[in-house]
Amino acid sequence: MSETQNMFEQFDKKQNRNEIHTYEENIESFTIGAEEAAQILGVNRSRLSQLTSKGVFTYERRKIDTRNRLFYKLSEILNHQRSQLQGNQFHNSYLEKAVKYQTEENIEFHENNNYSAETVQLKKRNLKNQTNSKVLFSAKTIFLSEQNKEEKIETKKNIHFIKEKSIQNENLIQSLNQYNLKKEHLLQKMILNNKEVMNQIQLSIFQLNSEIKQLQETLKELNTKFENSLNKPIKKWKIKKTKFLPKSTASR
């Protein structure tokens, strides 16, 4: 497994070297003055001359941090100029590959010059940690994005469920309203019918009262007549005597 990984790493390094070499052939040359380099490092020119007596990118064990700092500062300026010529997209890709390539070259340089194993392992570990951090950051970003998508889907489902429930409740309310209207109509009809019946009953009662009143008046008249008849004096009737009639001859 390690041999295969090393083979792929060597292949990537060659690809990076070829791409950088091809790119450097196609771009304009760029140089930086000693004064500007000293200003970037924060030292004077004499100190810069001491640090770069064997070339700007010569590495001495006690000056590795300074050399690397100078390289990255100069590389930023250089790549800024190149990005203006070639475009930001290619610049970002090139800068990432250049930094990775240079870092690996630094590690190889330390190994080839018999630097301490602790320093080499530390730099390898730092490079690995940087790569892992990028991978973890990307994985975390993807995880959060997927989690956000799931939350949005769940929210949409809840909204859809609430809408369905609202529609069902609306339909139920409409049905209840229609039922209430029907019941109200029936009640009003019954009330009207009852009113008619009551009117008829009241009319019948009125007629009965009228008849009773008439009967009372008639009865009163009859009583009056009867009383009057009782109060009249009684006439003395004479008894008529029958006269004697002789027997007729015919009866003989």
Tens of pLDDT, residues 117-170: 566 566 666 666 666 666 566 666 777 777 788 888 888 888 989 999 899 999
At residue 173, the pLDDT reads 92
In a domain, 87, yes or no: yes
In a domain, 27, yes or no: yes
| Percent of the residues in the chain that have a pLDDT greater than 90, as a whole number | 8
Alpha carbon dihedral 69, 73, 78, 84, in 10-degree steps, equals 140
Residue 53, phi then psi, degrees to nearest 5: -65, -30
In a domain, 48, yes or no: yes
Please give the Cα distance from 186 to 107 (Å, whole number): 98
In a domain, 110, yes or no: yes
User: 81: domain range?
Assistant: 9-115
**What average pLDDT does the segment 227-251 reach?**
63
Q: Is 55 left (phi over 0), alpha (psi -120 to 50) or beta?
A: left
In a domain, 187, yes or no: no
In a domain, 97, yes or no: yes
CB pairs under 8 A, 24+ apart, for 40-44? 40/70, 40/73, 40/74, 40/77, 41/66, 41/69, 41/70, 41/73
Please tell me the total count of domains within the chain.
1
Taking alpha carbons only, the member of 75, 77, 103, 79 closest to residue 91 is 79
Residue 54, phi then psi, degrees to nearest 5: -105, 20
Whether the predicted model's global pTM rises above the 0.75 cut = no
In a domain, 243, yes or no: no
Tens of pLDDT, residues 14-59: 555 555 544 444 443 445 566 666 666 666 667 666 665 544 434 3
In a domain, 128, yes or no: no
**What average pLDDT does the segment 75-96 reach?**
57
